[in-house]
Amino acid sequence: MIVLGNVTRRFGKLEAVRDLTLEIRQGEIFGLVGPDGAGKTTTLRMLAGLLDPTEGTVRVAGLDVGRNLDAVKDRIGYMAQKFGLYGDLTVEENMLFYSDLFGIEASTRDRMMAEFLEMTRMTPFRHRPAAQLSGGMKQKLALMSTLLHRPEVLFLDEPTNGVDPLSRRDFWEILYRLAKEGMTILVSTAYLDEAERCNRVGLMNKGRMIECDSPAALKSRLASVCFLAESGDLRQARRRLLAAPGVLEAVPAGSALHVYLEEGARREDVERAAGGVTLRPLEPALEDVFIALIRREDRRAAA
């Protein structure tokens, strides 16, 4: 449903996205994760037809986005990082506005609005002005407005940014339901617990996708370089570890350190070089995976 083939986007000299290749199947929830400035929004905007790639091909639902923009727009929903809601209009009025914008027939519209309000449990709030909604409810309203024309492919740019954890979980329940009905979803997020919920995640850094796989596969692939170090003096242990060859990073986590080694580095060598620090195997979370991968990438770029 989504195909990026060697896509590069430059802004002047800056390569916001560099040689990105990716395929996403129907019904998949794919997460784009990466620090600010990684190129997530630029990627989503190219997919939504709001920005041309400098090089490469962008296809959505079997159509080349640049050549079939109108047909593509009918089949996709794009929820921008700052989605435009009208604060003085109610929930219902905002949805009416967006259905007019998409030229949706009144009978279809009324049916869809009722269905979405029910699905998002927003029916009791339908007469409330958007400005008076909580962050989570605002995002649900933006999502509903994006769904009114029944898109097959959904692009969501950090849809839960700043939303409390319970409401984020709510939001994800809705995404699962949509994917189960066959919708293809590409969502960017800065939250790693959300990345964990995706079928696959792509980690972007400085315009490049540095890894792409299921959360479980990423974790098992990195398990051999993630360790736990305990010490009475964490600051000193950290300083020693960072000075040892083969150590990418040592991050305080509670009363211990999470330590990430370079590929091929031997744990005993690091323990010796760090002067009596003991490393124990760590079952990595996605957060560990991402820090290790980004540090590895930074190290390669610097070399």
Ligand X SMILES: Nc1ncnc2c1ncn2[C@@H]1O[C@H](COP(=O)(O)OP(=O)(O)O)[C@@H](O)[C@H]1O
Smallest separation, CB 4 to ligand X (Å):
14
State which residue, 77 or 207, has the beta carbon closest to ligand X: 207
Smallest separation, CB 97 to ligand X (Å):
27
Smallest separation, CB 38 to ligand X (Å):
4
- Which of these ranges, 19-27, 38-46, 65-73, 189-197, lies near Mg ion under the rule CB under 5 A? 38-46
Residue 205 within binding range of Mg ion, rule CB under 5 A? no
Q: Using only C-alpha atoms, what is the Rg of the chain?
A: 22
Smallest separation, CB 16 to ligand X (Å):
3
State which residue, 7 or 279, has the beta carbon closest to Mg ion: 7
- Which of these ranges, 34-42, 106-114, 138-146, 283-291, lies near Mg ion under the rule CB under 5 A? 34-42
The Cβ of residue 94 has, within 10 Å, a number of other Cβ atoms equal to: 23
The contact set with ligand X (CB under 6 A) reads: 11, 14, 16, 34, 36-42
Residue 41 within binding range of Mg ion, rule CB under 5 A? yes
Q: Please give, one letter per residue, the 3-state secondary structure of the chain.
A: CEEEEEEEEEECCEEEEEEEEEEECCCCEEEEECCCCCCHHHHHHHHCCCCCCCEEEEEECCEECCCCHHHHHHHEEEECCCCCCCCCCEHHHHHHHHHHHCCCCHHHHHHHHHHHHHHCCCHHHCCCEHHHCCHHHHHHHHHHHHHCCCCCEEEEECCCCCCCHHHHHHHHHHHHHHHHCCCEEEEEECCHHHHCCCCEEEEEECCEEEEEECHHHHHHHHHHHEEEEECCCHHHHHHHHHHCCCEEEEEEECCEEEEEECCCCCHHHHHHHCCCCCEEECCCCHHHHHHHHHHHHHHHHHC
Smallest separation, CB 58 to ligand X (Å):
15
Number of residues that bind Mg ion (CB under 5 A): 2
Pairing of strands 2-11, 14-24: antiparallel
Q: From Mg ion, ligand X, none, which one binds at residue 24 (CB under 5 to 8 Å depending on kind)? A: none
Smallest separation, CB 143 to Mg ion (Å):
17
Q: From ligand X, Mg ion, none, which one binds at residue 240 (CB under 5 to 8 Å depending on kind)? A: none
Residue 160 within binding range of Mg ion, rule CB under 5 A? no
Q: From ligand X, Mg ion, none, which one binds at residue 34 (CB under 5 to 8 Å depending on kind)? A: ligand X
- Which of these ranges, 35-43, 55-63, 122-130, 247-255, lies near Mg ion under the rule CB under 5 A? 35-43
State which residue, 36 or 105, has the beta carbon closest to Mg ion: 36
List contacts with Mg ion (CB under 5 A).
Answer: 40-41
